[in-house]
């Protein structure tokens, strides 16, 4: 059998190993060193706008530290986009705070400004103003940045921008990862670039970077002995992983181009199929890295379901997956308050993620095409 075609697999550019070898040659095999500094600099110049970057062990760690920096404590409430990966919400619970989930809007599939405002008003009227808003750029598609920012400013609640899936995306020409009061990135194995595992915290304030690094390296006070006035974490990125990241930065833009080509590939395939919509930018303000290409399948119009496609692809060793299951529908978050209707739920019911890697070969695309054609010809 042919090798499996994945949704999104690591795609090395070539220079990664040089940086990793350099780390071995100089014995910088530690959670600090020249690659960590170099990777942070490279991300800082890529993101621009005077942003500061702290390289961390994961995107989840970055969200955890972001919430700590914003003062989230036990008993607080934090608003979070419901439709997302659980890692967006879990750090709220690590801190003993309560997640308040908010529905998506249909244009970008991300947090709905109207329900967000409703949630803020209602929680505040119950005596608890939310401490932060976690907004996510799902599948690389920027959320409604201006509308969300306006609400954040009106109610003076800071935004944690979860840009784990959106490095290389832009909104009105500005890079995702620069819109939050604090932003986070992920370099997990399935993301647009990878360090095998890793993440970053991004902020315009140098003091955020410094505090994040302090907390990520066990919160050691300035003393020759080990002294601690705060609880610390072991969240720094290793110099080996950061070496992979430096190499990946050299190919980031070309990989964004290739992911966007995969999106075009699916648009061509489904062009004349009523009932199938390939997820695309609502207008020219939005530029998605198309980390994953996704479709919505209305079976009443096209006669087949997203599950039919997923099964057929699976039989051919091609990975597809339903969209993120909204957090308010997850057993673990059953009791968490939710504001919204059925937008996220219906996206989950009819959506599907398709193989989207920047490393898919022409033969693999032919194979994907051949499985999809019988559906299209129906």
Ligand X SMILES: *Cc1c(COP(=O)(O)O)cnc(C)c1O
Q: Which residues form the catalytic set?
A: 191
Task: Count the site residues for ligand X by CB under 6 A.
Answer: 14
Can you tell me which of 54, 70, 83, 87 binds ligand X, judged by CB under 6 A? 87
CB of 376 to ligand X, least distance (A): 30
Residue 164 near ligand X by CB under 6 A? yes
Binding flag, residue 104, ligand X (CB under 6 A): no
Q: Does 59 sit near ligand X (CB under 6 A)? A: yes
Q: Which lies closer to ligand X via its Cβ, residue 170 or residue 188? A: 188
81 binds ligand X (CB under 6 A): no
Residue 28: CB minimum distance to ligand X, A: 22
CB of 187 to ligand X, least distance (A): 7
Does residue 372 belong to the site contacting ligand X (CB under 6 A)?
A: no
Determine which residue in the list 5, 79, 116, 136 makes contact with ligand X, applying CB under 6 A: 136
Q: Which of 77, 165, 181, 281 binds ligand X (CB under 6 A)?
A: 165
The span from the CA of 17 to the CA of 245, in Å, is 10
Q: Does residue 199 touch ligand X according to CB under 6 A?
A: yes
Decide if 286 contacts 201 (C-beta within 8 A). Answer: no
The verdict on 84 binding ligand X (CB under 6 A) reads: yes
Asked whether position 76 contacts ligand X by CB under 6 A, the answer is no
The binder of ligand X chosen from 16, 40, 76, 162 (CB under 6 A)? 162
Please say whether the beta carbons of 285 and 317 come within 8 A.
no
**Cβ-proximal residue to ligand X, closest one:** 59
Cβ-contact 348, 325 below 8 angstroms: yes
**For residues 138 and 276, which CB has a smaller minimum distance to ligand X in the complex?**
138
Residue 308 C-beta: closest distance to ligand X, Å: 26
143 binds ligand X (CB under 6 A): no
Considering only residues 8, 35, 42, 58, which one is a binding residue for ligand X as defined by CB under 6 A?
58
Helix axes 362-376, 252-269, angle to 10 degrees: 30
Per CB under 6 A, the list member of 6, 28, 39, 85 interacting with ligand X is: 85
Residues 177-196 binding ligand X (CB under 6 A) are 186, 188
358 vs 9: CA distance, rounded Å: 8
In 342-369, which positions are buried (b, 16+ CB within 10 angstroms) versus exposed (e)?
Answer: ebbbebbbbbbbbbbbbebeeebbebbe
Tell me the window of 58-66, 143-151, 213-221, 347-355 that interacts with ligand X (CB under 6 A). 58-66
What is the nearest approach in angstroms of ligand X to the Cβ of residue 85? Answer: 4
Q: Which of 88, 108, 169, 239 binds ligand X (CB under 6 A)?
A: 88
60 binds ligand X (CB under 6 A): yes
The residues of the shown chain that bind ligand X, judged by CB under 6 A, are 58-60, 84-85, 87-88, 136, 162, 164-165, 186, 188, 199
């Amino acid at each position: 059998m042919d090798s499996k075609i994945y949704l999104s697999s690591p795609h090395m550019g070539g220079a990664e190993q040089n940086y990793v070898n350099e780390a071995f040659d100089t014995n910088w095999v530690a959670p600090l060193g020249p690659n960590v500094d170099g990777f942070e600099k490279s991300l800082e110049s890529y993101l621009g706008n005077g942003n500061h970057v702290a390289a961390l062990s994961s995107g989840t760690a970055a969200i955890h530290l972001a919430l700590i920096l914003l003062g989230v404590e036990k008993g607080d409430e934090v608003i979070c986009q419901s439709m997302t990966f659980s890692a967006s919400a879990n750090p709220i619970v690590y801190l003993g705070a309560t997640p308040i989930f908010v529905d998506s809007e249909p244009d970008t599939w991300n947090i709905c400004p109207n329900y967000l405002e409703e949630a803020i008003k209602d929680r505040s009227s119950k005596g608890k103003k939310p401490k932060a808003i976690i907004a996510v750029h799902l599948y690389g598609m920027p959320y409604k940045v201006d509308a969300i920012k306006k609400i954040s400013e009106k109610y003076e609640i800071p935004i944690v921008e979860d840009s784990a899936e959106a490095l290389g995306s832009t909104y009105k020409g500005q890079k995702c990862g620069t819109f939050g009061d604090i932003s986070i990135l992920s370099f997990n194995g399935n993301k647009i670039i990878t360090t095998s595992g890793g993440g970053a915290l991004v902020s315009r304030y140098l003091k955020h970077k410094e505090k994040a690094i302090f907390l990520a390296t066990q919160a050691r006070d300035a003393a020759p002995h080990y002294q601690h006035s705060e609880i610390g974490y072991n969240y720094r990125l290793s110099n080996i992983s950061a070496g992979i990241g430096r190499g990946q930065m050299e190919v980031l833009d070309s990989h964004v181009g290739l992911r966007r080509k995969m999106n075009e590939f699916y648009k061509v395939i489904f062009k004349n199929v009523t009932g199938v919509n390939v997820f695309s930018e609502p207008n020219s303000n939005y530029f998605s890295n198309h980390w994953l290409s996704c479709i919505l399948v209305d079976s009443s119009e096209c006669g087949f379901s997203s599950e039919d496609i997923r099964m057929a692809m699976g039989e051919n060793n091609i990975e597809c997956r339903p969209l993120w299951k909204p957090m308010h529908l997850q057993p673990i978050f059953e009791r968490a308050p939710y504001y919204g209707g059925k937008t996220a739920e219906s996206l989950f019911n009819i959506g599907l993620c398709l193989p989207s890697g920047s490393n898919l070969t022409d033969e693999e695309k032919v194979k994907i095409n051949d499985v999809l054609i019988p559906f299209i010809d129906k």
